[in-house]
Amino acid sequence: MTMISYLPAILMFGLFALRVPIAMTLLIVTAIYFGLINTFMPQEAMIQTMVASMESFPYLAIPFFTCAGVVFNYAGITTRLMKLAELLFGHWRGGMAQVNVALSAMMGGLSGSANADAAMQTKMIVPEMERLGYDRAFSTVVTAASSCITPIIPPGIILILYALVADVSVAKMFMAGFLPGLLLTVVLMITVSIISRAKGYAPSRDSRASLREIGQQMIRSIWALMLPFGIIMGLRFGVFTPTEAGAVAVVYALFVGAVVYRELKWSNLGRIVEESVLATAGVMFIICAANAFATYLTWEGIPSAFSSMLLGSIHDPIVFLLVVNLLLLFIGLFFEGGSAIILMTPLLLPVATQMGIDPVHFGIVMAVNLTIAGFTPPVGTMMFITIAIAKVRIEDYVRHAWPFLLALVAALLILTMVPAISMLLPWMFL
């Protein structure tokens, strides 16, 4: 392997510095490799790799779960979950901010996408928080931070991607995501409570909701709450595959919206299809480009060289995981989570398995890392989505973001050091 073999990778970081979009950057550097550097493979190999990467039945789970999340927003389920969250946590200090965090945890079983959750809750909750006297920048930061929970609680799309790339059970990844997702929820709620006490943010309810009120709202929301557990149980007992689970989620969402709640109208279908196609196209385009770039890495033997370098210098699994945390938090600033999973898993997973780290635990560490990076200034994707919708200056966002970033990193370190949090449910049920 010569120095010129690393040229596409070096050029990639140069294009990132120029703010060229991720997918276009990967396509440019891969085209340069196949067109100018590698004379042994035909130039058509790049296109063939991109097309072949999409000829995978499991990848259908991504558009299905994306569509299901869009349908739930139009079906009236999101508003019912928000009312339930307010009844449960509205009497706490910083009530509406606590509702913001709790809703993300509930939406984790429905949308599976941090970016989708960030956009939806910025439109829905930030104006309400501002009306109740919360600082707009603080409200925006809470929304972006809480959206880190959504892809970790199944059926997170990032968990599906890791399972496909790492060749591990999707059901195990789903089961492993529950407790880490709850840990992130608890840590963020504690952070919100501390900041709200300091800033004097009052509860959104004067008193604790009665058990009767909570029970009635839970009955109204039961159709939404049943979905994640239905998916897990269906996968556990072999009723359907992960891809079929996505199709079941779409049908279920349509049924609940049209028949049970009767809020889903024929006029909504056009917007549902449009939003689903645009969201899916963006993700799949990045995956195509990332797979083509991964072919360059594999052909040049960069993953094995990288693994040998790490194994030669790091011998302790904990030290390795800490280094991976730093690396992924940095990588996640430039890469969307899904594309980073595709690119970094072949590099890091072989080293992790050789050190005795369970691939499922490692997948959760990677997913949480890359999700936190999406919240982190100055270029996190959830940050850009929320400040663009809420019209908040980036410097105001940064000023309020640090306590939440520290809380999220603390949760990440706990998950890194205590594998049992991720592995308990897979050990018990699978």
Can you read off the two tokens belonging to residue 307? Answer: 């693994």
Residue 361: what residue type?
Answer: H
At residue 287, the pLDDT reads 73
pLDDT(220) > 90: no
pLDDT at residue number 185: 94
More confident residue, 184 or 260: 184
**Which of 136, 62, 145 is closest to 103 using CA atoms?**
145
Check whether 22 has a pLDDT greater than 80: no
3-class SS letters over 14-29: HHHHCCCCHHHHHHHH
SS3 content of the chain, % helix, strand, coil (to 5): 80, 0, 20
| Mean pLDDT on 259-264 | 84
Alpha carbon 241 to chain centroid distance? 21
Q: What mean pLDDT comes out for the span 281-295?
A: 76
The pLDDT assigned to 73 comes to 75
Tokens 């100055």, residue located: 378
Among 170-184, 217-231, 332-346, the range scoring the smallest mean pLDDT is 332-346
pLDDT band of residue 181 (cuts 50, 70, 90) is very high
Which residues lie closer than 8 Å to 423 by C-beta, 6 or more apart? 176, 358, 360, 361
Q: Please, what is the average pLDDT of the chain? A: 82
pLDDT of the residue at 117: 75
Structure confidence at residue 421 (pLDDT): 94
pLDDT at 1 over 60: no
Strand locations in 162-312, DSSP E? none
What pLDDT does 39 receive? 67
**pLDDT greater than 70 at residue 311:** no
Q: Report the pLDDT value the prediction gives residue 424, as an integer from 0 to 100.
A: 92
pLDDT at 140: 92
Quote the Cα angle for 212-76-404, to 5°.
80
Q: What is the mean pLDDT of residues 192-212?
A: 85
The predicted pLDDT at position 176 comes to: 92
Among 129-133, 244-248, 423-427, name the most confident range: 423-427
Among 27-36, 174-183, 419-428, name the one with the lowest average pLDDT: 27-36
In angstroms, how far is the first alpha carbon of the chain from the final one? 43
CA dihedral 120, 106, 287, 339 (to 10 degrees): 90
Count helices and strands (H / E) in the chain. Answer: 21, 0
Report the C-alpha gap between 382 and 390 in whole angstroms. 12
Find out whether 66 and 328 touch, Cβ atoms under 8 Å: no
Asked whether the predicted pLDDT for residue 64 surpasses 90, the reply is: no
Reported as a pLDDT band with limits 50, 70 and 90, residue 195 is very high
Q: What is the pLDDT of residue 138?
A: 93
Q: Are 34 and 293 in contact (CB under 8 A)?
A: no
Q: How confident is the model at residue 403 (pLDDT cuts 50, 70, 90)?
A: very high
Per-residue pLDDT for 211 more than 80? yes
Quick one: pLDDT band at residue 190, thresholds 50, 70, 90? very high
pLDDT of residue 358: 94
For the question of whether the overall pTM of this predicted structure is more than 0.85, the answer is no
Take residue 22 and report the two structure tokens written for it: 């991720």
